[in-house]
């Protein structure tokens, strides 16, 4: 039989394209198609192997079929047929889609996209991104394959969120094109060891097998146990710097003497214009060779981040350059890692670095290294050197400033740092008197005073000539005009309370205490009681604060859940003694289903990399339902039951999480109760003051007889020293020598709670309060000042004692043994014992104590009346009268006031 002639292959464009596209994908419009073809090389044999180009005519051959194990599960186009220009098209389509969908996109989408260049940039609501074991499996299987990494991040995230097959298709084509290009044309060195046929095999290509250190939390790696090694999640792998001859292209090894080259940000290999796109692919992290993707950049290249070269401009469209430069600047792998910055002797954590970089005046061109930072003035410099910059003050970054931070030898100190000779010279020029052993307190605007003295002395930046001199000597000066920076009276009062307050004829009350003891609550109650509450602007701030804090509380719970799940798993394992089969994870009451776990992981990730505050409260509404779902999950509820073990979780967490949907709505307005429950006054807590007149007793409860105003002026000023203020600003205390009384708050209920200090050491909270109290009582500036101890949170204290939590949990109370006393509950006995312990601390000195529940407004009013009595008493004592007010509702001993007596006076009607 005569052989039938074979049909000529159908070489229509459609048939050519079909194998390149995923099954079922529509053929793109011919007019819009941007394509090119590779033809087989038939020239003379050269020095280097030439990549093979397989013809695409006809149906796909078996060798081009993608291994079904490939997680992308999409056929890869043949390397030869799809030119890199496809990227352009994919990219433009993505841009188009972004611009079209821009307005309709939810804030979540926008936010996630923004972050998509970073490790954690995955939609929390999609299942694609998993931290932990799932992610690690995915990685092993290749699903977090180079495809997904190579695709433009924006495009990638779009395809994840959008169901648009077009985008997915483009993404796949684009990734495949790059992979193809990479594997088809590896570097000469790779070619030396890889045969052409291997080279042709995408799965075996050098590109695929190159180990990556892309931002994968450490626990996702070998042991699967720990949190990310670096907070940023980028493993600190030292890049291997490629040494090439100066003018040689690292890929083709040609010299191209006069041609510009593009340099890899990681290994510094240089590529000529013909090789750059092949060597660097789609540049998902900017200008890096394919094998360097995921690696941290070489520090010498940091100044070039985001700055396109002329070469790039000549081969890519402006839109592409814009996108590449954006990813280059934003992508996580290219960021400075927090641990590379040592500030005041301590490596930064991710949230600290993000605070530093996002402040209004960050240090410019930061490089890895050791720095010192003066939080009070904002001065910033390299360790052992004079200051180089004034950055935003009061940032919570790094350790404590050391006197020798700048290796000064002048014996003149600014905010505890011994200054350098050039600074001293400048200070003298500015007319500041500074003989040896001068201790100056300098604020960010240049105003200064001598430490321990209450007078504001002047401003070193005031004269323009001085500022010029400073810059001549390379010393930093503040940005903008000093006049504009002049602090308001209110700001000054916070900085130099005595200077501002001196002229006022008020009785100053200093409100001190350890974090969480209730200082702000008392302050807020004073505002409600005597100043008519909060203004609209302040309410807005509280709203924002509450909405942000909910997420922080959630994250504490999520971390706790993980811990408990592991512990429980280990415990069950010990009981069972038979380890689960490989890959099987034992479930317990703290385990969550995969979807919620993904969501939880996302929250933990954005917290770990310090971007939680970038998302919230902005996206609070979108996530409220998810947070509620998480909160209601049995695993989280089981975790919450063990809240005492979650040291950072405040008491209010449950209350706020319970109402997350309501609190997250736009219409939500904080009510008094919410404001009191919200921790702190404002997010940045330092010094705050409020002035008020105390009304006569009759006005507040109607049951008091004291109609005489004992205060000299009838005006009081309550000054709250907040968390940071007290720790770093202990020197301020010396400036409050004219206060009439120190009100020290202690949260009684903390006797069984732990506090993790900055060194990670857990300590009993009440013991910390005790030490702080002892420290302050012992200060010479408070030698003759009456101390009033507000023993707060009695409600919680009572609840705990009644529940059987032993007071002896706190070592300080180890000798407490309740005895059966008629008409006295165990809680009252415990309270009396605690009062006794505190009084013993001050020896012969008088210590006034007041039992308080600061959430009860009337009780706080009584507390202030009590303070007023004390002041009167102290005044009489000083005048030698020694008469106590007749009515003394403070029982036999003015020095103690308990809720018991207060309740009797007020007929037990304590409204919140």
Ligand X SMILES: Nc1nc2c(ncn2[C@@H]2O[C@H](COP(=O)(O)OP(=O)(O)OP(=O)(O)O)[C@@H](O)[C@H]2O)c(=O)[nH]1
757: nearest Cα among 765, 749, 745: 765
Q: In what order do the strands lie in the sheet with 379-382?
A: 346-347, 341-343, 369-373, 379-382, 387-390
In the complex, least distance from residue 548 CB atom to ligand X, rounded to whole angstroms:
14
One character per residue 694-733, x = contact with ligand X (rule: CB under 6 A): ----------------------------xx----------
Spell out, one character per residue from 762 to 801, where the chain touches ligand X: x when CB under 6 A holds, - when not: ------------------------------xx-xx-----
Residues 640-679 that bind Mg ion (CB under 5 A): 679
CB of 858 to ligand X, least distance (A): 13
Q: Which of 268, 517, 664, 828 binds ligand X (CB under 6 A)?
A: 517
Site residue total, Mg ion (CB under 5 A): 3
For residues 445 and 477, what is the distance between their CA atoms, to the nearest angstrom?
9
| Position 281 contacts Mg ion (CB under 5 A) | no
Annotated binding-site residue? 520: yes
Residue owning tokens 């998810």: 626
Cβ proximity to ligand X, 357 vs 652, nearer residue: 652
Per the annotation, does 58 bind a ligand? no
In angstroms, what is the minimal distance from the CB of 600 to ligand X?
A: 24
Residue number, 293 or 529, with CB nearest to ligand X:
529
Neighbour order of strands in the sheet with 417-418: 417-418, 412-414, 438-442, 447-450, 456-459
Least distance (Å) between residue 439 CB and Mg ion: 29
Is 179 known to sit in a ligand binding site?
no
Minimum separation from the CB atom of position 521 to ligand X (A): 4
Ligand-binding annotation for 630, yes or no, is no
> Binding of ligand X at residue 670 (CB under 6 A)?
no
Contact 494, 686 (CB under 8 A): yes
601 annotated binding-site participant: no
DSSP letters for 610-646? T-HHHHTTTTHHHHHHHHHHHHHSHHHHHHHHTGGG-
Among 90, 419, 657, 676, binds ligand X (CB under 6 A): 676
Minimum CB separation from ligand X for residue 688, in Å? 8
**Radius of gyration over every alpha carbon of the chain, rounded to an integer in angstroms:** 34
In angstroms, the CA 55 to CA 446 distance is 73
Residue choice 131, 519, 561, 765 for contact with ligand X (CB under 6 A): 519
Residue written as tokens 């501002």? 500
DSSP alpha helix (H) spans, 5-128: 13-17, 85-101, 107-115
Nearest to 557 by CA among 489, 647, 493: 647
CA atoms 388, 446, 427, 498: torsion sign: negative
The correct pick among 520, 607, 764, 849 for binding ligand X (CB under 6 A) is 520
Contact partner, 169, from Mg ion, ligand X, none, Cβ < 5-8 Å per class: none
Which residue among 285, 679, 728, 750 contacts ligand X (CB under 6 A)? 679
For ligand X, which is the closer residue by CB, 563 or 648? 648
Nearer to ligand X, 626 or 851 (CB): 851
Which residue, 53 or 652, has its beta carbon nearer to Mg ion? 652
Cβ(284)–Cβ(150) below 8 Å: yes
Question: Measured between alpha carbons, how far is 619 from 903 in angstroms, rounded to an integer?
Answer: 45
CB of 775 to Mg ion, least distance (A): 19
651 contributes a contact to ligand X by CB under 6 A? yes
Which distant-in-sequence residues (6+ apart) come within 8 Å of 902 by Cβ?
A: 851, 859, 862
Helix (H) or strand (E) holding 271, with range, is: strand 270-271
Rounded to an integer, what distance in angstroms lies between the CA atom of residue 514 and that of residue 749?
13
Q: What are phi and psi of 334, to 5 degrees?
A: -90, -5
Q: Is 676 annotated as a binding residue?
A: yes
Contact positions with Mg ion (CB under 5 A) in 492-531: 515
Window 673 to 692, contacts with Mg ion (CB under 5 A): 679-680
Measure the N-to-C terminal CA separation of the chain; round to a whole number of Å. 104
Among 124, 284, 363, 518, binds ligand X (CB under 6 A): 518
List of residues contacting Mg ion (CB under 5 A): 515, 679-680
Binding site for Mg(2+), residues?
520, 682
Binding site, residues?
520, 676-682, 792-795, 854
List of residues contacting ligand X (CB under 6 A): 513, 515-521, 650-652, 676-677, 679-681, 685, 722-723, 792-793, 795-796, 853-855
């Amino acid at each position: 039989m005569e052989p039938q002639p074979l049909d000529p292959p159908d070489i229509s464009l459609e048939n050519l394209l079909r194998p390149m596209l995923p099954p079922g994908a529509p053929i793109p419009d011919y007019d819009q198609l941007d394509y090119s073809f590779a033809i087989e090389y038939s020239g003379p044999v050269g020095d280097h192997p030439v990549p093979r180009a397989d013809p695409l005519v006809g149906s796909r051959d078996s060798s081009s079929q993608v291994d079904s194990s490939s997680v992308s599960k999409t056929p890869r186009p043949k390397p030869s047929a799809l030119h890199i220009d496809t990227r352009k098209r994919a990219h433009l389509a993505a841009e188009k889609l972004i611009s079209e969908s821009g307005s309709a996109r939810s804030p979540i989408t926008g936010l996630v996209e923004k972050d998509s260049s970073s490790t954690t940039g995955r939609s929390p609501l999609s299942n694609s991104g998993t931290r932990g074991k799932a992610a690690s499996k995915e990685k092993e299987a290749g699903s977090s394959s180079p495809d997904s990494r190579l695709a433009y991040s924006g495009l990638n995230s779009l395809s994840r969120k959008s169901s648009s097959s077009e985008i997915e298709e483009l993404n796949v084509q684009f990734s495949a094109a790059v992979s193809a290009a990479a594997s088809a044309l590896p570097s000469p060195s790779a070619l030396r060891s890889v045969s052409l046929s291997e080279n042709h095999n995408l799965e075996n290509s050098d590109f695929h097998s190159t180990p990556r250190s892309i931002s994968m939390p450490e626990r996702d790696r070998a042991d699967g146990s720990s949190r990310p090694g670096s907070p940023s999640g980028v493993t600190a792998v030292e890049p291997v710097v490629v040494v090439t001859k100066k003018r040689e292209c690292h890929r083709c090894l040609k010299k191209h003497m006069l041609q510009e080259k593009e340099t890899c940000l990681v290994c510094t290999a240089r590529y000529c214009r013909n090789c750059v796109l092949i060597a660097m692919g789609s540049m998902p992290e900017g200008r890096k060779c394919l094998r360097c993707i995921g690696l941290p950049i070489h520090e010498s290249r940091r100044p070039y981040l985001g700055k396109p070269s002329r070469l790039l401009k000549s081969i890519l469209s402006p839109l592409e350059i814009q996108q590449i430069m954006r990813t280059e600047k934003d992508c996580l792998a290219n960021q400075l890692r927090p641990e590379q910055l040592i500030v005041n002797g301590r490596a930064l954590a991710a949230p600290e670095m993000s605070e530093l970089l996002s402040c209004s005046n960050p240090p410019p061109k930061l490089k890895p290294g050791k720095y010192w930072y003066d939080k009070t003035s904002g001065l910033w410099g390299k360790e052992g050197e004079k200051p180089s910059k004034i950055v935003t003050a009061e940032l919570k970054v790094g350790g404590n400033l050391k006197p020798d931070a700048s290796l000064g030898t002048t014996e003149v100190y600014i905010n505890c740092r011994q200054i350098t000779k050039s600074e001293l010279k400048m200070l003298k020029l500015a007319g500041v008197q500074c003989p040896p052993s001068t201790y100056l307190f300098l604020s960010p605007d240049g105003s200064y005073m001598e430490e321990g003295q209450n007078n504001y002395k002047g401003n070193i930046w005031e004269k323009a000539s001085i500022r010029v001199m400073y810059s001549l000597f390379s010393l930093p000066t503040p940005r903008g005009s000093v006049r504009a920076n002049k602090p308001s009276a209110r700001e000054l009062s916070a900085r130099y309370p005595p200077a501002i307050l001196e002229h006022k004829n008020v009785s100053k009350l200093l409100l001190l205490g350890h974090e969480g003891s209730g200082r702000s609550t008392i302050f807020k109650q004073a505002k409600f009681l005597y100043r008519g509450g909060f203004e609209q602007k302040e309410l807005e701030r509280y709203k924002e604060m509450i909405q942000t804090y909910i997420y922080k509380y959630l994250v504490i719970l999520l971390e706790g859940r993980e811990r408990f799940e592991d512990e429980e798993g280990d415990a069950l394992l010990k009981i069972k003694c038979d380890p689960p089969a490989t890959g099987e994870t034992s479930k317990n009451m703290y385990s969550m289903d995969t979807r919620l776990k993904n969501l939880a992981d996302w929250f933990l990730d954005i917290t770990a990399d310090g971007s939680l505050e970038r998302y919230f409260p902005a996206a609070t509404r979108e996530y409220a339902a998810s947070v509620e779902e998480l909160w209601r999950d049995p695993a989280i509820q089981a975790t919450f039951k063990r809240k005492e073990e979650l040291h950072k979780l405040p008491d209010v967490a449950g209350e706020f999480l319970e109402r997350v949907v309501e609190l997250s709505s736009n219409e939500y307005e904080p009510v008094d109760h919410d404001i009191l429950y919200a921790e702190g006054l404002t997010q940045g807590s330092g010094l705050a003051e409020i002035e008020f007149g105390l009304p006569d007793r009759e006005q507040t409860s109607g049951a008091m007889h004291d109609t005489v105003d004992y205060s000299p002026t009838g005006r009081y000023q309550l000054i709250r020293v907040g968390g940071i203020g007290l720790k770093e600003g202990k020197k301020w205390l010396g400036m409050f020598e004219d206060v009439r009384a120190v009100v020290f708050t202690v949260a009684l209920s903390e006797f069984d709670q732990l506090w993790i200090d900055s060194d990670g050491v857990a300590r009993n909270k009440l013991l910390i309060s005790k030490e702080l109290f002892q420290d302050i009582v012992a200060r010479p500036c408070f030698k003759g000042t009456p101390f009033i101890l507000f023993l707060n949170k009695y409600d919680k204290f009572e609840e705990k004692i009644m529940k059987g939590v032993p007071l002896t949990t706190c070592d300080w109370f180890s000798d407490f043994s309740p005895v059966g006393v008629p008409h006295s509950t165990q809680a009252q006995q415990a309270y009396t014992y605690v009062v006794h312990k505190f009084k013993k601390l001050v020896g012969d000195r008088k210590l006034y104590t007041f039992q308080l529940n600061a959430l009860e407004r009337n009780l706080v009013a009584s507390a202030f009346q009590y303070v007023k009595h004390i002041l009167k008493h102290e005044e009489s004592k000083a005048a030698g009268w020694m008469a106590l007010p007749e009515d003394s509702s403070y029982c036999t001993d003015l020095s103690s006031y308990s809720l018991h007596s207060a309740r009797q006076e007020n007929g037990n009607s304590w409204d919140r």
